[in-house]
Amino acid sequence: MARAPFSRSQSTEDRLVAATRAGDNAQALSITEISQALKRTVEDRFGHVRLRGELSGVKRAASGHLYCALKDDKAVLDGVMWRGNAQRLAFAPEDGLEVIATGKLTTYAGRSKYQIVIDSLEIAGEGALLALLEKTRARLAQEGLFDEGAKRPLPFLPRVIGVVTSPTGSVIRDILHRLADRFPSHVIVWPVLVQGQGAAEQVARAVRGFSGLEAGGPVARPDVVIVARGGGSIEDLWSFNEEIVVRAIAECTIPVISAVGHETDTTLADFAADRRAPTPTAAAEMAVPVRVDLAATLADFAARQRRSVHRPVELGRERLEARVRRMPRPETVLQAQAQRLDDLAERLRRGLTLRAGQGREQLAGAAARLSPSVLRRAQREAERRLQAARLAPALVERPLDDARGRLSALARLVSQLHPEKPLERGYAIVRGADGRALTRQTQAAGEARLALQFSDGVLDVAPLSPDAPPATRPAPPKPSKKARTSRAGAGQEDLFG
């Protein structure tokens, strides 16, 4: 299909290429320029606003910035809280919490959205009180006022009970009525205001007053103190959230029961007290036991004590009777032993009779062997064997000759090994002054006199001084060839002669 040529008379909507008309001063803006213009307009118009809404989509980025959305039943507004302001929040924001946000509106060009930059965030209505309550609770808890390890146990049966409450309300009547039903006790009431101006100071003064009482004084010191008040709104119970009351309860030297409000109401006094009661009536029930139950318990303990005393005796009697029934009769136990005794007695009788018979037979045999004829025959046989035996002289002389030869050899060996035997061959023995034989030159040099023993006598000599010149010794004569030949042919002398 052919396309119609472009005509200048066509409208602007039909133009393919943008063109500036004569007298038109509306320049085309960039997206950034229009976004910045919108940002300045919104921030100038809404530079400070306070908005009330419900938190939704709360999240904290890694950078510390807080992102959320404020919404009501018809609209939603994004919000951001920078890290510096988010770190100063006194509470932890969460979805569904109604708050009042203070800040300024701005735009976010990256997403074509407008949002609020939050400077401060508060809980709307009662939420503000709850935020303050939470902040105070955290600070006092950090000081250790709510430490569970510091809680003291309540006395089992207090004789005196101190009550801090209004003397005209229904609370004191409920407490007295419950105490009368359970266990009547002596009650001291310290009247105070429980709501309004000055109530916190009066409650703190009463708790410290009970704590300051001395035992044995004109006013009885309570064993337990009950701080009580009826139910109400958070504003009505606020006196029991004051720091002065919390510190007085925590510092009290007497165990304290907090019974403020109904079961769903919680105050800081409940955290500081040793026990928390959901209602004032429940506090009276915690303070004292039930007298009827105590009496029944004591009666049960007495019965159990009696049963504990008699039960071992009864069990012992039953066990003894059972064992007696299982034990056999004495005659039954002795029957087998009596029968064995009879059997052994019979065997002993037969054994003695048999042994006596054997003895008689052996005696008769021995008597037969000892007859005179048998003895004479044995004597003649012994004499015949004696006469047949002959002693040969060689049998006696040969051992004597062997012994004599060995004795002679030992005698010759002794004579050869005698210490003076070498003296006959030209040797001498050097002896000291005390007669000891000297074998070393150092020993002889230390002696003043020496004795030289020869084969034919002893010669006394004196050793020379070490400085004296050595004496010249003549060389020994050389033996002649004939003498050497004769000495070699002579051979060694026989050791045994």
The pLDDT score that the predictor gives to residue 91 is 62
- CATH superfamily of this structure's domain 31-124: Nucleic acid-binding proteins (2.40.50.140)
Res. 191: pLDDT tops 90: yes
Res. 114: pLDDT tops 90: no
β-sheet with 429-431: strand ranges across: 429-431, 450-454, 457-461
88 φψ region: left (φ > 0), alpha (ψ -120 to 50), beta (else): alpha
Greater confidence, 10 or 269? 269
What are 457-495's pLDDT values in tens digits? 888 888 776 665 555 555 555 555 544 544 444 444 444
Beta-carbon contacts of 100 under 8 Å, excluding residues fewer than 6 positions away, are: 50, 51, 52, 121, 122, 123, 124
The pLDDT score that the predictor gives to residue 393 is 67
What are 368-399's pLDDT values in tens digits? 777 777 778 888 888 888 777 665 666 667 88
Res. 251: pLDDT tops 50: yes
Please state which of the ranges 67-71, 193-197, 268-272 shows the lowest mean pLDDT.
193-197
What are 6-34's pLDDT values in tens digits? 444 444 455 666 666 655 556 778 888 88
Distance CA 473, CA 470 (A): 9
H or E stretch at 165:
strand 160-165
Distance CA 268, CA 139 (A): 11
Helix (H, G, I), strand (E, B) or coil at 156: coil
Tokens found for residue 279: 């209602």
Per DSSP, the residues of 95-154 read TT-EEEEEEEEEEETTTTEEEEEEEEEEE-THHHHHHHHHHHHHHHHHHTTT-GGGPPPP
Distance CA 115, CA 78 (A): 5
Res. 247: pLDDT tops 60: yes
The pLDDT score that the predictor gives to residue 480 is 53
What are 30-78's pLDDT values in tens digits? 888 888 888 888 888 888 889 988 888 989 999 989 999 999 888 999 9
Helix (H, G, I), strand (E, B) or coil at 41: helix
Res. 209: pLDDT tops 70: yes
The overall average pLDDT reported for the chain is 81
Distance CA 46, CA 107 (A): 11
Q: State the pairing for strand pair 98-108/113-123.
A: antiparallel
Helix (H, G, I), strand (E, B) or coil at 185: coil
The pLDDT score that the predictor gives to residue 221 is 93
Report the pLDDT averaged over residues 421-446: 80
For helices 243-251 and 199-212, what crossing angle results, to 10°? 10
Q: Where are the domains of the chain?
A: 31-124, 132-289
Q: State the pairing for strand pair 66-71/76-81.
A: antiparallel
Tokens found for residue 422: 């070498």
Amino acid letter, 187:
V
Res. 455: pLDDT tops 60: yes
Report the pLDDT averaged over residues 248-272: 90
Q: Whose structure tokens read 């004495």?
A: 330
* CA terminus-to-terminus distance, the chain: 169
Beta-carbon contacts of 99 under 8 Å, excluding residues fewer than 6 positions away, are: 52, 53, 54, 55, 70, 93, 121, 122, 123, 124, 127
Please report, rounded to a whole number, the percentage of residues in the chain having pLDDT higher than 70: 85
Please state which of the ranges 330-334, 389-393, 446-450 shows the lowest mean pLDDT.
389-393
Helix (H, G, I), strand (E, B) or coil at 365: helix
Report the pLDDT averaged over residues 183-206: 90
Please state which of the ranges 180-194, 264-278, 417-431, 472-486 shows the lowest mean pLDDT.
472-486
Distance CA 307, CA 201 (A): 57
Nearest to 158 by CA among 256, 234, 238: 256
Distance CA 373, CA 72 (A): 157
The pLDDT score that the predictor gives to residue 207 is 94
Distance CA 121, CA 236 (A): 25
Res. 200: pLDDT tops 70: yes
Q: Which fold has domain 132-289?
A: Rossmann fold (3.40.50)
The pLDDT score that the predictor gives to residue 118 is 93
Greater confidence, 198 or 160? 160
